[in-house]
Amino acid sequence: MKEHKKLPSAVIKRMPRYYRYLTTLQQMGISRISSRDLGNRMGVTASQVRHDFFSFGASGLQGYGYDVDLLRQEIRDIFGLDDLFSVIIIGAGNLGHALAKYSGFEKNGYKIAAIFDVKPEIIGERINDIEIIHLDKLQEYVQDNHVDIAALTVPEIRVLEVAKLVTDNGIKALWNFSPIELLASDDIVVENIQMIDSLMVLGYNLRTAEAKLNPN
């Protein structure tokens, strides 16, 4: 991955959204966009857009705006998307299946390299032509293959045990889909995905919107 200065966490959280919008613009054949137009699409101010991009050295031209292709590539460089991160999935249940079948990972810099589970009846089966391997083989696999990220789609009662197994084998990044939030450390990075949190917020906003429409 190319070296770059550390960006504020709030900026990093917005960057994937910028990247998605820029990708859409590129696919539409739009070559440039102003901070105002991009901000309107994202629901942020033009000054916020300019501030975010300035934080990593990108600047638009007055009367021209930002070059969509160049800006998109700069964000790819920041996230190392041209380096192709190697990802393994631990847990071949419904969610593990869905992740393994998702076609968008590789074009965005992430390759699902292996899937692990403990259920004897599914060992050897294939998802998207990726064989399910018994978790007992994890150490052997990691010794023979470089792994950047482990996606944890295991039952809640096993996630701490599996997280320890994964990190003990040298994997430094965890993408955790368990309701239990894992904690990062100096040498382990964690992204906790709490889907129910998003649904709770969505449900709350739905009730609020309905209350405004039907105040009585």
Per the annotation, where are the binding residues for NAD(+)?
91-96
Gap between the Cα atoms of 21 and 12, Å rounded:
15
Collapsed DSSP state (helix, strand, coil) of residue 191: strand
Residue ranges at the known binding site: 91-96
Gap between the Cα atoms of 147 and 16, Å rounded:
22
Look up residue 55 and give its DSSP letter. Answer: T
CA distances from 77 to 83, 107, 113 (A): 9, 14, 22
Structure tokens at 131: 């064989």
106 phi, psi to nearest 5 deg: -65, -40
